[in-house]
Structures are given as C-alpha cells and as structure tokens.
C-alpha cells in the first residue's frame, strides 16, 4: 500500500480533514501514514488525531510520527505539504509592520508584502523537501502542496529543486463554482465549468448547464440586487467579464484599486486584517482539539472537497477525475510566462496527473495575471539566487504596495520585516 507523508501535520484540523477523506475510500484503508512536524507537542497531537480518525473510519493504516523530516519522507509515494513557517507570530508581524506604514492587508499570505515574506520563509523548506524526496522517496512520488503563497512556492520548487512531480492544491475553484450555482439557482450537479489562470487569481471561463451559458442568469441576479457589486469579486466580474475563483478578501489585496483609501474599503466591505483574526481562531481550535483528545471525546468534522485525497485515490485505483491544480506552465496557457506556476484543469488517473492546455485565454485576464506573476517571479528569484534587491523589486511591483507607498517606504518596510523575521529569512537575503 502507498505511503502518504504529511509535512506540517501539526495543523491538526487540516490533518484530520485530509485523513478523514483519504480513509473514507475502502481501497486506502491500509495505507501507511507518516506524520512530521518540528513542534513536538503538535506532532503528538497530530498522531492522536490520526489514530482517532482511523478508528472513526474503521480503517487500519500504519501510522508513524517523525521528528526527523527525512525519515518521514523515506519511501513516500505522496507528500502533502501544509507547513506555516514562523506560525502565528510571523503572521502578525507580516500584518502589523506594514500597517505602521499605512499599508493595509486582508490575508497577506499570497501576494503583497505578507505573501513575499511568507514565501521567503518557506522556499528553503520547499527546497529541502524537494531535495530529500529526490534522495529517499519512491520514484515518481508526488508533492501535493497546500501551503501559500501557492504560485510562488510551486514556481520556486520547480526552478530550485529536483522534485518535478509537484501540484499545488486549493479549494477556491470548488467553493466558487458551488457559490455561483447558488447565485443562479441551478443545482451544482447540473453545472459544467472550466477555469484557468493563477492560483487565487483564476477565472471561470465557461459556466453552463446542458450547453446553456449561465452567466446571463448571474447578470440578472446582479441587476436585481445591486448591493452584490459592493463585493470585490463582483466588481472584477462586471469589469473583466469572467468570475474570479478567489474570495473578495483575498482578491482585494492583489489589485491597486480597493485598499488605497477608507472610502473604497467601506464601499467594498473589506475586512482589513482578517487573517490575523483567523490565525487566532486556529490557535483556539488547536487547543480545543488537544482538550478533546485528552478527554477521549469525539472530534468534529465533515467530509471535505479537497483534491489531495481524490488524487491519491485516482492514481492508486485508476479512477479518472478532473481536478484543478497549480503546475508548471509548459505552454498550458500560451499568453502567460513559460515556467511560471499556473492553475489549470488536470486529468488524474492511474498514470498520474496530466495538466491540460487552455486555449484562447482572454487577453485581459492574462494581462492581470502577469502583474501577479511579476511579484511571484521576483520573489522566487530572490530566494533561489540570494538576491536581496529582488525582494525590494518584488515589493515595488506589488499592486497594493505600489498604490499605497512611496519607493523609500517600500524599501524601508522590506528592511524592517527582514530584521523582524531574523533567521527565518535565508541568510543571503538578510
């Protein structure tokens, strides 16, 4: 049976959710599960979660916990990465220090100053995982990455490590298409769709029922309720012609128009600092999980719509599926840079993951994506080449930072965040 390794398994809620989905497949009841986390307490919690989940599923996987990452990767067929380098403390710094300069963020994990510095902390870990997988994991092993910033990390992993079987996974496409179905009043099971772009800035290019374009129904819904246009993603749809797959909270900080002043933030109902609150809630949820395990209580949770369990099941059983994943652009989207990390439909079966070509990607979407990918490329180059000037270049080209700060402020902010994160930042970039 396959060996599935979870890196950053101390993200206990996500570990429970993924393992619950994996072990819901009878064919995967006897898999080997290896858990790794650098925090001993969280690793202990992850093991307790895994054993409870296996028992709850009526499965009998071989579960092992490893403080040493290399040992966890040894013999792996699938590696699920969900690390958060620096944890809550780094998240708070990524938000509070830019705020002193007047730079507002909502999530700060994908683009912008927060995304850049999260990437710089995480790329060395991605390279370490990729190098060790090449040395000790099974041939053809897949790295399934959930850690943000997705496009930057996948790009840097392809470019800077020998691990090439890499796919970045998110739930934005799944959630968005279900929400769109609700907006237009059509059962999701009756909908067909196709999307593409960059993770957190992809778009639904086709949204249909039995060949009928459902976008006119969305237009009618907006006409009936103009308040919907007080959301960033609705503004993007109305002006670009295609619905974005990422939430308004995320999307607002990838653009120069929505966070530059108080009036725009109020008009579009943007919650500044949303992720700091979410991070605090995650700490509370982790504490509650430990309490429940210690008390012998059941853990909460429902089946998810995450792709990693489906990918593993499809490869192991030959069951064909379509998922949306972040992969290397080998000409998949012609008008986006080759080598970049793009999000496209992928066919999955017993032969692995096969990304599909997306023809005629709309020019206005590609142009917007390129502003996103500029930041990703320069951040990846900064880490791979050890060029600290590229950190500043990435920040200069970030749409939100450029709309808010002067060049001197951007450079000073980068210096201050570099100092604040200390040895979490690669030595060459300090």
Same domain, 36 and 96: no
- The answer to whether residues 116 and 413 touch, using CB atoms and an 8 Å cutoff, is no
Spatial separation of the C-alpha atoms in residues 12 and 286, rounded to whole Å: 7
Within a domain: 296: no
Catalytic residues: 171
Same domain, 163 and 181: no
Spatial separation of the C-alpha atoms in residues 34 and 7, rounded to whole Å: 9
138 is in an annotated binding site: no
pLDDT at position 302, please?
85
Cα angle 146-296-23, degrees, rounded to a multiple of 5:
40
pLDDT digits (tens, 9 = 90+) for 136-183: 999 999 999 999 999 999 999 999 999 999 999 999 999 999 999 999
Distance from the Cα of residue 363 to its chain's centroid:
25
200 is in an annotated binding site: yes
Q: Domain range spanning residue 196?
A: 87-110+169-272+306-430
Spatial separation of the C-alpha atoms in residues 207 and 153, rounded to whole Å: 29
Same domain, 94 and 198: yes
Within a domain: 293: no
pLDDT at position 203, please?
98
Mean local confidence (pLDDT), 332-357? 98
In this predicted structure, the answer to whether residue 261 has a pLDDT above a threshold of 90 is no
Same domain, 176 and 131: no
Decide which of 168, 194, 210 is a domain's last residue. 168
- The answer to whether residues 186 and 159 touch, using CB atoms and an 8 Å cutoff, is no
Same domain, 173 and 64: no
In this predicted structure, the answer to whether residue 386 has a pLDDT above a threshold of 90 is yes
Within a domain: 295: no
Same domain, 32 and 82: yes
Same domain, 36 and 103: no
Within a domain: 120: yes
Q: Give which of 153, 105, 123 is closest to 398, Cα–Cα.
A: 105
- The reported pTM is 0.96
In this predicted structure, the answer to whether residue 301 has a pLDDT above a threshold of 90 is no
For the chain, what is the total number of helices (H) and then of strands (E)?
Answer: 17, 13
Pair type for strands 142-145 and 321-328: unpaired
Same domain, 204 and 226: yes
pLDDT digits (tens, 9 = 90+) for 172-225: 999 999 999 999 999 999 999 999 999 999 999 999 999 999 999 999 999 999
Spatial separation of the C-alpha atoms in residues 72 and 425, rounded to whole Å: 25
pLDDT at position 130, please?
98
pLDDT at position 369, please?
98
Same domain, 186 and 99: yes
In this predicted structure, the answer to whether residue 385 has a pLDDT above a threshold of 90 is yes
Same domain, 349 and 215: yes
Within a domain: 41: yes
Structure confidence at residue 260 as a pLDDT band (50, 70, 90): confident
Pair of tokens at residue 50: 């895994």
Same domain, 62 and 204: no
148 is in an annotated binding site: yes
pLDDT digits (tens, 9 = 90+) for 1-51: 899 999 999 999 999 999 999 999 999 999 999 999 999 999 999 999 999
Same domain, 97 and 216: yes
Summary mean pLDDT of the chain: 96
Number of domains in the chain: 2
Spatial separation of the C-alpha atoms in residues 234 and 229, rounded to whole Å: 5
CATH number at residue 124: 3.40.50.720
- Running DSSP on this structure, what letter comes out for residue 296? T
Distance from the Cα of residue 112 to its chain's centroid:
15
């Amino acid at each position: 049976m396959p060996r599935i390794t979870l890196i950053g398994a101390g993200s206990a809620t996500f570990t429970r959710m993924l393992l619950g989905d994996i072990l819901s497949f009878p064919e995967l009841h006897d898999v080997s599960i290896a858990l790794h986390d650098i925090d001993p307490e969280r690793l202990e919690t992850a093991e307790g979660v895994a054993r409870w989940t296996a028992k709850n599923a009526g499965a009998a996987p071989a579960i092992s916990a490893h403080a040493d990452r290399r040992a966890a990767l040894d013999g792996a067929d699938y590696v699920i990465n969900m690390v958060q380098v620096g944890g809550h403390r780094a998240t708070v710094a990524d938000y509070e220090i830019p705020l002193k300069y007047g730079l507002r963020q909502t999530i700060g994990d994908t683009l912008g100053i927060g995304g850049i510095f999260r990437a710089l902390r995480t790329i060395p870990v991605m390279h370490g995982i990729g190098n060790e997988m090449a040395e000790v994991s099974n041939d053809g092993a897949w790295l399934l990455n959930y850690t943000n910033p997705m496009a930057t990390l996948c790009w840097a992993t392809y470019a800077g490590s020998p691990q090439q079987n890499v796919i970045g996974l998110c739930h934005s496409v799944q959630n968005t298409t279900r929400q769109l179905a609700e907006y237009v009043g059509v059962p999701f099971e009756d909908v067909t769709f196709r999307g593409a772009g960059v993770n957190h800035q992809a778009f639904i290019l086709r949204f249909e029922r039995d060949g009928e374009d459902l976008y006119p129904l969305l237009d009618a819904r907006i006409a009936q309720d103009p308040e919907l246009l007080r959301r960033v993603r609705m503004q993007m749809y109305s002006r670009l012609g295609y619905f974005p797959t990422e939430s308004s909270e995320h999307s607002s900080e990838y653009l120069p128009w929505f966070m530059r002043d108080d009036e725009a933030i109020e008009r579009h109902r943007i919650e500044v600092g949303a992720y700091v609150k979410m991070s605090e809630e995650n700490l509370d949820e982790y504490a509650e999980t430990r309490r429940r395990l210690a008390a012998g209580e059941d853990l909460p949770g429902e089946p998810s719509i995450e792709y990693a369990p489906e990918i593993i099941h499809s490869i192991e059983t030959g069951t064909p599926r379509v998922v949306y994943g972040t992969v290397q652009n080998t000409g998949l989207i012609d008008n986006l840079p080759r080598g970049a990390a793009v999000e496209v439909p992928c066919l999955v079966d017993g032969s692995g993951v096969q990304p599909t070509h997306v023809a005629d990607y709309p020019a206005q979407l590609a142009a917007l994506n390129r502003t996103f990918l500029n930041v990703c490329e320069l951040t990846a180059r900064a880490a791979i080449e050890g060029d600290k000037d590229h950190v500043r270049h990435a920040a200069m080209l970030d749409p939100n930072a450029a709309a808010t700060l002067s060049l001197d402020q951007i450079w000073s902010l980068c210096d201050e965040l570099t100092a604040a994160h200390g040895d979490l930042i690669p030595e060459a970039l300090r």
